[in-house]
Structure 1
């Protein structure tokens, strides 16, 4: 490409595509919030809190950071100003250098109506190592964020960050764009590649890195988790940034490199299977707990429980016969509305349930949870007890407090044997 073609294609193609989705989702979200008083209050509160915290951070930088200017590193300052003007920035950003404890980074932001670029000292120190253009690349990258209004529209990005991958995809596209802008206006592909390499390995060793081998890691270091790590990140992986920049400005100098997709697809399929399996296990676990109808605890004392209920739970027919002869009420209920028949059914005691039904126990009593002995038997998936209760007149049309019949529960549990009995 000639210079005009390069300048006209500096914007990474996917940036505008993702921005359209981000803009649409952001506008729709804010419109939705505007129709809710609570939404307006929450939105305003979050905006004010963000402004307050941001102002505190910038205030510390303005006071403690070293501001580039006519009296502070004037040579680099004039080159930075010239680069900003070439990019078309009307208002030249305030540039601050802050101590970073060895961290290599920089960022662009706005403080009310002022553009601000913060450069960490770990990068700025490169001017002492004849790497001024590398420093200018980092500055120009941040200028590009301001030029493209990435900082100004950040409030529109907030709703999109709640959508998996969407907000991050837009931010990654912005990074590619800003890399192109910076390399073009610094007018040094080599320095730009060095600056990106420096972010990977540090300012001491970046000049010794084999950049071609580093870019080949796109193919060699691949797989599902590598792919997912990038998709959940606001920045592309550095070998890809280096490759994309080289391919854009000097396509003939770098071989075609493609990230293998096979491992990614296999990883996605395996993850879906594992997640589905875990979800199914949780679902069945919850259903199993639902079946443990705690209204008839046998390991603990239940208020109002009678000796007849406990003997029914223990399947002690002889003692049950004796208690009835002594005047025990066969349909007496405990504090949870359960009768001796409920207790027998819950514990799967067929002989005790049959004995009680033969002695006149009501098969249609309802406990405080809305369950009849028949529904309890379905819960326990005990087809033999279901058949016994039906034989003694259990009402299949009874609808519990959740709007379900015994048949509905049998269908839910997919128990074909019980479904056939209840048809």
Structure 2
């Protein structure tokens, strides 16, 4: 049996390619500033992850050969069966009735946490506990946790990020199935997730799987497309198919749901990692957007200042044609500044060579000038050249760039 879900590798390659492109664009576009935000995110992530690991170690019960040897033996056996060479640190945690398990990683150490309620609920079917153990080992063997940081930029993309997350869950369900000795134990594990610690015994896996037919409707399709987990009824149907040696064809999704889901970025399923990830994404985008917006507004103000400069050069040019020399002042040339947008702080003319200097009002460029230099061409006509030695060309109009 192939332990990797059919779409995971393809989605991973797409995610990796897009993430590398986005990382490169962010680093180049922000002149390396994005790396500062990444560093801040990493520090914040370390604090958040350290809090989680500290809670696990300070509250949970470590599963060892001396402490819960039956669970330790199961975890060791699942690791051998699924090809995980180094056994992760394992803990049993009481979570107030929640049925689940999770894997995490902190500074090179892998952790598996089993919730006590699911272990207690399956006491009479302990092989079903292997499904939970195997599922989390799947995350470790597939290195989902290691790749998450590199894939982070593409993980936020609509449809794609959630699709990859769901593919990982199907892959890990396959690992959980393979970790069980009894082919029906994986179904029991999912039944406990669906019906709880007592009612799972009466749950009909076939009837529950049949509920997947409702998932093709618009709203169920939409909410699955924007979510990180497949509907549990679909997971049950997939596991039942594996037990029967078949690959289940899941019901199709509503076409219009894809259009709506395309407008919803993936934000993950919660926790400090999602919040911190959102913060760093906003920070990185701000590192790109704020300078770009600053340049955009500066360009607009410079264009207005150049318009004022053209009006001044026209007055100087008329004075030259009438008098054969440049004016001593702009007032002498009959020029009065008309600047309704307040784009110019000051404007002057050099009596010696007729150069007009426009000083923009933009606070970032106070004291710096746009120079309009005149020359007389072969036809005895005045030609003006616009340039600036102090103001960056990227914010100047095209006519004022060298």
TM-score higher than 0.5: yes
- 1:213 alignment counterpart: 207
- From 5, 12, 19, give the equivalent of 1:12: 5
- 1:29 alignment counterpart: 22
- 1:45 alignment counterpart: 40
- 1:118 alignment counterpart: 113
- From 130, 133, 145, give the equivalent of 1:136: 130
- From 199, 206, 216, give the equivalent of 2:193: 199
| 1:6-405 → structure 2 map (5 Å cutoff) | 6=1, 9-35=2-28, 36-127=31-122, 129-251=123-245, 258-259=250-251, 261=253, 264-265=254-255
> How many angstroms apart in 1 are the aligned matches of 2:113 and 2:256?
42
Q: Deviation at 1:138?
A: 0.3
User: Quick check: which one's helix share is greater?
Assistant: 1
Relative to structure 1, is the Cα distance of residues 221 and 56 closer, same or farther in structure 2, using a 3 angstrom cutoff? Answer: closer
Q: Deviation at 1:161?
A: 2.4
Per-residue CA distance 1:353-387 (angstroms, 9 max, x = gap): xxxxxxxxxxxxxxx79xxxxxxxxxxxxxxxxxx
Per-residue CA distance 1:199-220 (angstroms, 9 max, x = gap): 1121211121111111111114
> How many angstroms apart in 1 are the aligned matches of 2:98 and 2:175?
24
Gaps of 5+ in 2: 262-339, 342-402
Q: Deviation at 1:125?
A: 1.5
Q: Deviation at 1:260?
A: 5.2
Q: Deviation at 1:107?
A: 0.8
Q: Which has the larger radius of gyration?
A: 1
Per-residue CA distance 1:277-309 (angstroms, 9 max, x = gap): xxxxxxxxxxxxxxxxxxxxxxxxxxxxxxxxx
Q: Secondary structure at the match of 1:123?
A: helix
Q: Deviation at 1:156?
A: 2.1
Q: Secondary structure at the match of 2:22?
A: helix
Q: Secondary structure at the match of 2:149?
A: helix
Q: Secondary structure at the match of 2:113?
A: strand
Q: Secondary structure at the match of 1:202?
A: helix
> How many angstroms apart in 2 are the aligned matches of 1:242 and 1:55?
34
Relative to structure 1, is the Cα distance of residues 215 and 101 closer, same or farther in structure 2, using a 3 angstrom cutoff? Answer: same
> How many angstroms apart in 2 are the aligned matches of 1:107 and 1:216?
27
> How many angstroms apart in 1 are the aligned matches of 2:141 and 2:215?
34
Relative to structure 1, is the Cα distance of residues 257 and 162 closer, same or farther in structure 2, using a 3 angstrom cutoff? Answer: closer
Query: Runs of 4 or more off by more than 4 Å in structure 1?
Result: 266-269
Per-residue CA distance 1:219-270 (angstroms, 9 max, x = gap): 1454111001111111111111111122233146x9x765255xx236668x
- 1:290 alignment counterpart: none
Per-residue CA distance 1:310-343 (angstroms, 9 max, x = gap): xxxxxxxxxxxxxxxxxxxxxxxxxxxxxxxxxx
Q: Secondary structure at the match of 2:111?
A: strand
Q: Secondary structure at the match of 1:217?
A: helix
Cα pair 1:218 1:257 within 8 Å, conserved: no
User: Quick check: which one's strand share is greater?
Assistant: 2
Relative to structure 1, is the Cα distance of residues 18 and 89 closer, same or farther in structure 2, using a 3 angstrom cutoff? Answer: same
Give me the CA root mean square deviation: 2.5
| TM-score normalised by L of structure 2 | 0.61
Cα pair 2:121 2:198 within 8 Å, conserved: no
